[in-house]
Amino acid sequence: MDVTISPSILNCDIANLASEIEKVRNADYAHVDVMDNHFVPNLSWGLPVVEAVIRQDILPVDAHLMIEDADRWAPAYAEVGCDSVTFHAEAAVAPIRLAREIRRQGAKVGMALRPATDITPYIDLLPEIDMLLVMTVEPGFGGQSFLKSMMPKIRRTRDAISAANLQVAVQVDGGINRETICLAAEAGANVFVAGSAVYKAEDAYSEVEALRQLAKTHC
């Protein structure tokens, strides 16, 4: 599958939203982290900021919902125009029904797993989603160190997808930079969320291109 780069705006200057997204206009998505201070111990932003990013019409929005009661709230993010909506398996009571509702609203469906959550119970759900997000840090805060211990999990996920002959993307989020993107790509990931590495770079546009090329070649 094609390499996809999705910079997280968690590390951008939200007061200058349009110019910050314009810096990464060569990316595939703008990744928006929604945190409710319940599912994770941090509070970011919600639907109004997501709608503001969509209104810029610079990049499609990849929304990552780190929120409780995903069954209730996730479809609204698809309804307002997110291209992709990712909910956490741990926060969904009826993940299949939720996935189908998100898709009915016109968005692609992502399902995320915390580092300690095993992929095995969710393998049968893979046909219902477009993307499986393997968190490579504990969700809730940007700037954390990449968990190399997640590489076997990424491999198991990619193997399960291949065995079922599915076109499901594998996303990684957390600690992605020029070194770690190589490890994740080699393990089987093809969608990469990078926050600090992009927005703290001297040239965010060039950093997106550098990360893309490294992922394509597995370094």
| Cβ atoms 126, 166 nearer than 8 A | yes
Let me know if 187 is exposed, middle or buried by CB neighbors in 10 A (0-12, 13-18, 19+): buried
Distance separating alpha carbons of residues 153 and 169, to the nearest angstrom: 14
Could you give the angle at which helices 180-187 and 204-217 cross, rounded to 10 degrees? 40
Concerning whether 118 is annotated as a catalytic residue, the answer is: no
Q: Which of 96, 141, 188 is nearest to 215 (CA)?
A: 188
Catalytic residue among 57, 159, 173, 203: 173
Concerning whether 33 is annotated as a catalytic residue, the answer is: yes
Residues 6+ apart with CB under 8 A from 112: 64, 66, 86, 87, 88, 89, 132, 133, 134, 135, 139, 173
Residues 6+ apart with CB under 8 A from 105: 75, 78, 79
Catalytic residue among 33, 57, 62, 69: 33
Q: Which of 131, 126, 103 is nearest to 6 (CA)?
A: 131
Annotated catalytic residues are 33, 173
